Amino acid sequence: MSKFVTFGEIMLRLAPMGYERFVQSKEFSVVYGGGEANVAVSLSNYGKDAYFVSKVPKHEIGQCAVNELRKYGVNTDYIARGGERLGIYFCEKGASQRPSKVIYDRAHSSISEASSEDFNWDEVFKDAQWFHFTGITPALSDNCAEITLEAVKKAKEKGVMVSCDLNYRKKLWSSEKAGKVMGEIVKYCDVIIANEEDAEKVFGIKADATDIESGKLSEEGYRKVAKELFDRFGLKYAAITLRESYSASDNGWSAMIYDGKEFIRSRKYDIRIVDRVGGGDSFAGGLIYGLSSGMGSKDALEFAVAASCLKHSIEGDFNLVSKEEVETLMKGDASGRVQR
């Protein structure tokens, strides 16, 4: 099998039980995840040979993160050990009009303080087919930005397909810095995934919509965003996810893709949310699977949207669904009838 490599941070997620607020909580559920780790798990679930590259501290909590990845079949051989700590995020689940709340405690993590010596990209990309990362990784530190650049260059050099989910995080860097750093890195990318805000925040590419409430205009606007990303960076695919937040409990979810030939808009799902963290990552995982498995643009997009629709019904960061489950939904069965 050929490798599907992702590179980034894996964090410990601590969350109150059910709908408790932080201040009520005497127990936190323990989940490990992060943008690129989540994509790796998705790819492993669909049968791909997924590798996650990162750095975690040498102690037991670092090992817990590794073990969670191993459990889902992700290869962890290229995870470096060392450094100070595993990044943490506290996540309180919202409901109805009360939003979910995320508190990051990720500074000084092992990956953010990793150095080029921790990774041997030549070895990593041997027999690799795909490399994926998100905009969070270069945002972690200058070190990480530099390592990411090295990685995409090496991937390009070896003919590995490269995808990036822009994933702008305002707590990690400014739009200015993001634009500058990402502008350099994205040159080596074949696929860009963005949500309704990322392109504007990172590259200043704004959806040209006079009225954000009007779905029609909005779609037109996002077409332009996709096309501009596509053209500016010489991509093979530009994809945009479209989340409509009716409330913390209910969302609309769809996406579009531009492959240089046509703009394709996916089916839209109305979702009762169990856990929406990792929703975007599950889209990326589905899209990479689809595009790398010989599906056309439309099928890959529908696979990705169906996959990420299902993610919203699953606790934790990882999208624990099989290819067959995604295909069933993709083919139209959203009835949720008991499968005996």
Q: Which of residues 225-284 bind a copy of itself (CB under 8 A)?
A: 245-250, 269, 271-274, 276-277
Output the 3-class SS for 71-140: HCCCECCCCEECCCECCEEEEECCECCECCEEEEECCCECCCCCCHHHCCHHHHCCCEEEEEEECHHHHH
Q: Which of residues 16-75 bind a copy of itself (CB under 8 A)?
A: 17-30, 59-61, 63-64, 67-68, 70-73
- 23 or 117, CB closer to a copy of itself? 23
Residue 296 and residue 72: Cα distance in Å, rounded?
A: 27
Q: List the beta bridge partners of residue 131.
A: 5, 162
CB of 268 to a copy of itself, least distance (A): 12
- 126 or 272, CB closer to a copy of itself? 272
Q: Which of residues 114-173 bind a copy of itself (CB under 8 A)?
A: 169-171
| β-pairing verdict for 128-134 and 161-165 | parallel
Residue 134 and residue 154: Cα distance in Å, rounded?
A: 17
Binding residues for a copy of itself, total number by CB under 8 A: 80
CB of 250 to a copy of itself, least distance (A): 8
Residue 311 and residue 325: Cα distance in Å, rounded?
A: 11
Stretch that binds a copy of itself, among 35-43, 118-126, 224-232, 327-335 (CB under 8 A): 327-335
Q: Residue 56 has what DSSP assignment? A: E
Stretch that binds a copy of itself, among 14-22, 112-120, 201-209, 286-294 (CB under 8 A): 14-22
Binding mask 77-116 for a copy of itself (x = CB under 8 A): -------xxx-x-x-x-xxxxxxxxxxxx-xx--------
Residue 40 and residue 75: Cα distance in Å, rounded?
A: 9
- 158 or 269, CB closer to a copy of itself? 269
